[in-house]
Structures are given as structure tokens and as C-alpha cells.
Homo-oligomer: A and B are copies of this chain.
Amino acid sequence: MINPNTTQAMTDTIAKCAAAVAGPEVTLTGVTSEIGPESIESHYDEALAVPGVLRAIQRGEQEGVDGYVIACFGDPGLEAAREIAAGPVIGIAEAAMQAASHLGRGFSIITTLARTIGQSAHLAERYGMQRFCRGIHACEIPVLDLDRDPNARKVITEACRDAIEADRSDAVVLGCAGMADMCGEISAELGVPVVDGVSAATLTVQSLVTMGLRTSKRGEYATPPVKRYLSGVPPAG
């Protein structure tokens, strides 16, 4: 479980949610990225988060990890990670949308800031989930306020309620790893399935590993060619 931002509290939430669903034979490790932003709310943040994700994967490979979850709804670095990992790598947006596609004809996504809507839309297209995704809505709570703002859960619940009405949706996808622990309550209140990507991605990796399926090394995701890299500290805010 790789948390692509550098905030340990969020890693803890992620690891807890993953542990709640993983099978008894699974050993889960939550890793906080060591390079990059404290939260990911822009393409800039995402770009600077990716090197930390890749370093975490490289360490995992040395330790023989079977598979990885990238636990940020922008799925940062997913393709590069697939090139360097032997086992499967799954993003939480990918897994959440696929799970929601089984539950009805269409779902809505509730994301944090409106500026991230474009990235969610882009991922919906990439994963073929555009036809199920009926709307993406922002609750306008910054990532790090999700567990600091006492009203967060209420605001998000209302955003979900509005979304299923406006989009005529059957289900909701929560568009941030920091919302992972809110699923049950919101679902109970609204009477529709609410999908958390952290759980979904954990179980997708577990399923692929169980089936012995790994990223194909035949084409685009083959191990990258070896070459010289100039080291250097990347820019910050």
C-alpha cells in the first residue's frame, strides 16, 4: 500500500482500510512516500509525487513484494510502476471505478477540489469507465482537511446525495484515499453502494496474485532500458 503523499496519518487510514478487507494469508505494508508533496491536488503535485512512488516500488521489488496499490485517486505513476514491478500494480481510481461498474448502470464520483475533476475524467476514459461515470463532483474540502474538518463527513454525504440525484446514478465512488473510511456510513445513510478505492484495489491485487497474473513484460510494460540518469533534487512549491 503506497501512499504517494508524505503524510503519515493518511497512510495509517489507508492501511487500516486495506487490512479490513484483505484475506488472512495476505501481509500488508503501508508505505509513506519520502519525496514530494504532503497532499496531491494538482498536476504539479502529482508530477512531484511520482518519483517517491517509484522509489517505494523499487524497495518493494528488493523485498520480494507480490503486488502494489497506489493509494491516491489520481493513480500517479501507475504506468512507470508497472514497468519496474514484477507483480501487479493497481491504482485506487482504477479499482474503484471497475467495482462500481458491477453495481449499476452508472456511478458518480465525489472528489476533493474541483481542479482535480479533469484528472478523474481522464482516468475514467483511460480505464474505459467513461460510459459508467455519469458525473464527477467536488466537495471542495482539501485532502488534509478530510480528517481535520469536523464537518467533512457531512459535507461529503450531502455531495453524494446531490450527485446521485443530479446524475441519476446507482452508486458513488469516493475520489480520494483520505475518504476511505467513510464508505460504510455514507452508504447506510444514502441507501446506495459507496465504493472506496483502497479496499477495491487491495482486493484486486490480492485476486490477481491469487490467479498468478502479473503485468505482461512483452510490450509496453517491459523492464525499461538501462541508461544514465542525472541525479538532482526536484523542485518544490
Contacts and interface: CB of A to CB of B under 8 A. Distances in A.
Interface of A: 6, 21, 23-24, 33-39, 41-48, 50-52, 54-55, 58, 77, 79-80, 82-84, 88, 90, 94, 98-99, 101-106, 113-115, 117-119, 122, 125-132, 142, 164, 168-171, 184, 187, 191-193, 195-196, 199-200, 203-204, 206-208, 210-216, 218-222, 224-237
Q: Which residue, of A42, A54, A195, has the highest number of chain B Cβ atoms within 10 A?
A: A42
B236 A231 contact: yes
Given A51-B232, A54-B234, A55-B232, 12 more contacts: A41-B227, A44-B54, A45-B224, A99-B207, A99-B213, A115-B220, A187-B212, A203-B210, A204-B207, A206-B207, A228-B237, A232-B233
22 contacts: A6-B228, A6-B229, A35-B233, A38-B227, A38-B228, A42-B83, A44-B54, A47-B54, A88-B102, A88-B103, A99-B213, A103-B213, A103-B214, A104-B219, A115-B220, A170-B218, A187-B212, A191-B218, A226-B237, A228-B237, A232-B233, A233-B233
B220 A45 contact: no
Copies of this chain held together in the complex: 6
B221 A80 contact: no
Nearest to A35: B232
